[in-house]
Amino acid sequence: MGDQFTLSEEQRDCLQEVTNVAMGQAGDNLARLLDTFVVLSIPHIATMTPSDIAMALQSVDSSDSVSGVCQGFIGGGIAGEAILLFNDTSFSDLAKLMKYEDVLDEQAERELLMDTTNVLFGACMRGISEQIDMAFSFGPPMVLGQHQRLDALFDPATAMWRHALVTEINYKLEGYNVNCDLLLIMTEESIIRLMRKLDYLIG
């Protein structure tokens, strides 16, 4: 990978701070919605190839079965997608927290996935948008798959880009078996524009 895609230490620190604030706001929104404490990991930021992302996903969640949602975003020359991955053991506790009393079938799980995605992703992107002073528009959220192996949800061969800037954070709900990972993937064309934005914030 060329040096033009390598973040400086200052840029990485700035992006980590922006992401921390945005993902913290998203966690706070989820905590208010579910009336429980949300535990966040420190954001992990790296420039990756599609194969790198596939390997990282395997290490993120070792369970045999996961469900995932993705949603595209674009604005100011920055484009990418967010992926939210749920450990499949999360659904029964998530249904309790959302006071969902109907039968927890595939359609109900899909609704829970979408509701949680809207809360986390919406708040996170608003937080980033406000800090870097850039408005984003969003595509419709799409279910990548339900109760599948991770390698079935993300196929590196189908990626339309060679390198992407990936920010990954893990959310857990204290006292419940709910565990999800949010990944923000920004395409290589976006990285240089984002670096300019970070330089402006640093300066």
The predicted pLDDT at position 66 comes to 84
Query: Are the C-beta atoms of residues 197 and 132 closer than 8 Å to each other?
Result: yes
Where would I find the beta strands (DSSP E) of the chain?
A: 38-40, 44-48, 66-75, 78-87, 137-138, 142-148, 164-173, 179-187
Output the CA–CA distances (angstroms, integers) from residue 153 to 143, 150, 157, 162, in the order listed. Answer: 10, 5, 12, 18
The predicted pLDDT at position 72 comes to 92
| Cα(166)–Cα(180) distance, integer angstroms | 16
Q: Quick one: fold of 3-202?
A: Chemotaxis protein chec (3.40.1550)
User: Which residue is associated with the tokens 């990485």?
Assistant: 12
Strand partners, 67: 86
**Which one-letter amino acid corresponds to residue 115?**
D
Ranges of residues in the chain whose predicted pLDDT is under 70: 1-5, 58-64
Which pTM value belongs to this model? 0.86
